[in-house]
Structure 1
Amino acid sequence: MSTPTAKVISVGIVDDSARDRERIVELLEHYQTQHLVHLHIRQFEDGAALLENYRPDYDVLFLDIQMGGIDGMKTAAAIRRVDSSVIVIFVTKTAQYATSGYAVDAQGYLLKPVSSFAFDAELTRSLRHLNRMKRDSILVGSSVAPRKVDVADILYIESRKHKLTVHTIDEHISFNGTLKDFETLLAPHNFYRSNSGYLVSLRHVEAIDREDCIMSNGDALKVSRARKKGLLEALTDYIGGKVV
Structure 2
Amino acid sequence: MFKVLIVEDTPAEAQVLQDFLGRYAAEKGLELNVEVLGSALEFIDTRRAADLVLMDIDMPGINGMEAAQVMRGYDEQTPLIFVTNLAQYAVRGYSVDALDFVVKPVEYHDFAMRLDRAVRIMTRNVRSTMALPTEDGIAVVSHSDLLFVDMLKHDVCYHLADGRVLRERGTMRATAEKLGKDEFVRVSSGCLVNMGRVTRIGAESVTVADGTELFFSRSQKRPGLEKLANFIGRSI
TM over 0.5: yes
Aligned twin of 2:41? 48
Which of 133, 138, 155 lines up with 2:130 in the alignment?
138
Q: Which residue type is aligned with residue 42 of structure 2?
A: A
By how many angstroms is 1:36 displaced? Answer: 4.1
Which of 190, 206, 213 lines up with 2:199 in the alignment?
206
* Structure 1 portions without partners, runs of 5+: 1-7
1:109 is aligned to 2:124:
no
Alpha-carbon contact 1:139-1:149 (below 8 Å) kept: yes
- Render the CA deviation track for 1:51-103: whole Å, top value 9, x for unaligned: 454442x3322111232222223333444555555332112333443454455
Give distance in 2, aligned partners of 1:38 and 1:202. 33
Alpha-carbon contact 1:191-1:202 (below 8 Å) kept: yes
Aligned residues: 232
- Cα RMSD of the aligned pairs, angstroms, is 3.5
1:14 is aligned to 2:16:
no
- Percent identity between matched residues is 28
Which of 158, 169, 173 lines up with 1:166 in the alignment?
158
Give distance in 2, aligned partners of 1:90 and 1:79. 13
Give distance in 2, aligned partners of 1:103 and 1:159. 38
Q: Secondary structure at 1:70's aligned position in 2?
A: coil
By how many angstroms is 1:49 displaced? Answer: 2.8
Aligned twin of 2:58? 66
Alpha-carbon contact 2:161-2:210 (below 8 Å) kept: no
TM-score, normalised relative to structure 2: 0.75
By how many angstroms is 1:161 displaced? Answer: 6.8
Distance change >3 Å, CA 26–CA 151, structure 1 → 2? same
Q: Secondary structure at 1:41's aligned position in 2?
A: strand
Alpha-carbon contact 1:155-1:200 (below 8 Å) kept: yes
Give distance in 2, aligned partners of 1:220 and 1:176. 21
Which of 5, 19, 23 lines up with 2:16 in the alignment?
23
Aligned twin of 1:180? 172
Alpha-carbon contact 1:183-1:192 (below 8 Å) kept: no
By how many angstroms is 1:184 displaced? Answer: 5.2
Alpha-carbon contact 1:195-1:222 (below 8 Å) kept: no
1:126 is aligned to 2:118:
yes
Aligned twin of 1:192? 185
* Structure 2 portions without partners, runs of 5+: none
